[in-house]
């Protein structure tokens, strides 16, 4: 039995849609603001119920407010996603054919990479191989900037990865279209774009999941094959001591 939508729910939904992606604590503040503005009963721990009510009304429209975890800081983020889409149709109205092609190829590079990043050099080299319309490097640089502004990509030290928003919106699409290549985190079982991997058995984990799982352990071992976890695990005692001496 679905609860009724109130203006508070509608206001919240409008804000989420307009933001593109909303961080957890912002969402909580927004929940409070909406309930207070529209004089609706507010309880600070009822955000999930509040969102469920909205989702029950979005379901017939094949839309959903979905929660995803940032691969950078492990914090929750919310986005309104379209479940009916089978491609990058969400972006389709905002970009030209060649921009979309550049995005798809960038996404390929990112997903197929070891660490979930594609260098700007590699991406720009793709620009003049586009089938739709060749792009000059300058133009491609500009397009990448727009993708970052619109939160489809995020950039770190000249390398690009998928933004949390993109992962939340396109997780299903990526898992089905990159079935054999896309990694899932061994701990939380969600799609992992940036990940650390076990050198022996090849399983992968999100960095925030790594931090949580290996917290306080001096000798991190792979949860699957029990081999020594060879990557740097920041936050663990072992990680700290490794930082001091080069192995």
Partner 1 sequence: MSQRKRSKGLGCSQLLDGEDDSIPTQVERRSQEQLNQKVSELVQFLLVKDQKKIPIKRADILKNIIREYRDAYSEIIRRADRTLQEVFGLQLVEIDAKRHIYILINNLPCAEGEQLCRDKEKEKMGLLLVILSFIFMKGNSVKDSALWEFLHLLRVYPGKQHSVFGDVRKLVAEEFVRQKYLETTAIPLTDPPEFKYQWGPRAEKETSKKDVLNFVAKMQGKDPKFWASQYSEANKATT
Binding site for partner 1 (CB under 8 A): 5, 7, 10-11, 13-15, 17-20, 30, 33, 37-38, 54, 57-58, 60-63, 82, 84, 93-94
Q: Which is nearer to partner 1, 29 or 134 (CB)?
A: 29
Q: Which is nearer to partner 1, 62 or 228 (CB)?
A: 62
CA nearest neighbour of 97 among 128, 130, 124, 123 = 130
Q: Which is nearer to partner 1, 13 or 140 (CB)?
A: 13
The phi-psi region of residue 116 (left if phi > 0; otherwise alpha if psi is between -120 and 50; otherwise beta) is left
Tell how far CA 235 is from the center of its chain. 22
Q: What span, in angstroms and rounded, lies between the C-alpha atoms of 24 and 26? A: 5
Report which DSSP code applies to 46: -
Q: What span, in angstroms and rounded, lies between the C-alpha atoms of 164 and 22? A: 10
Q: Supply the minimum distance, in Å, between the C-beta of residue 41 and partner 1.
A: 17
Are 98 and 106 in contact by the 8 Å Cβ rule? The answer is no
Q: Supply the minimum distance, in Å, between the C-beta of residue 49 and partner 1.
A: 17
Q: Supply the minimum distance, in Å, between the C-beta of residue 15 and partner 1.
A: 6
Q: Supply the minimum distance, in Å, between the C-beta of residue 132 and partner 1.
A: 21
Q: Which is nearer to partner 1, 93 or 157 (CB)?
A: 93
Q: Which is nearer to partner 1, 2 or 112 (CB)?
A: 2
CA nearest neighbour of 210 among 233, 178, 242 = 233
Tell how far CA 204 is from the center of its chain. 16
Q: Supply the minimum distance, in Å, between the C-beta of residue 221 and partner 1.
A: 45
Q: What span, in angstroms and rounded, lies between the C-alpha atoms of 170 and 56? A: 21
* Beta strands 118-119 and 191-192, pairing class: unpaired
Q: Which is nearer to partner 1, 63 or 191 (CB)?
A: 63
Q: Supply the minimum distance, in Å, between the C-beta of residue 235 and partner 1.
A: 34
Tell me the two tokens of residue 138: 């300058």
């Amino acid at each position: 039995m679905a609860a009724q939508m109130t203006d508070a729910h509608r206001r919240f939904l409008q804000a989420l849609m307009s933001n593109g992606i909303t961080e957890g604590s912002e969402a909580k503040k927004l929940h409070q603001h909406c309930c207070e503005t529209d004089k609706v009963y507010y309880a600070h721990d009822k955000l999930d119920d509040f969102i469920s009510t909205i989702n029950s009304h979005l379901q017939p429209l094949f839309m959903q407010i979905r929660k995803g975890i940032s691969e950078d800081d492990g914090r929750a983020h919310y986005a309104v996603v379209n479940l009916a889409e089978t491609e990058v149709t969400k972006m389709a109205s905002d970009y030209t054919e060649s921009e979309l092609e550049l995005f798809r190829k960038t996404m390929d590079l990112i997903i197929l990479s070891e660490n979930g990043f594609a260098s700007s050099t590699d991406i720009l080299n793709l620009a003049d191989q586009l089938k739709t319309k060749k792009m000059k490097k300058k133009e491609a640089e500009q397009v990448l900037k727009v993708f970052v502004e619109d939160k489809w990509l995020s950039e770190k030290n000249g390398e690009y990865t998928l933004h949390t928003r993109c992962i939340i919106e396109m997780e299903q699409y990526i898992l089905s279209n990159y079935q054999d290549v896309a990694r899932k985190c061994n701990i939380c079982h969600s799609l992992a774009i940036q990940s650390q991997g076990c050198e022996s058995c090849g399983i992968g984990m999100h960095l925030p999941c790594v931090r949580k799982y290996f917290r306080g352990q001096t000798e991190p071992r792979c949860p699957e094959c029990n081999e020594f976890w060879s990557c740097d695990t920041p936050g663990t005692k072992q990680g700290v001591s490794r930082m001091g001496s080069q192995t």
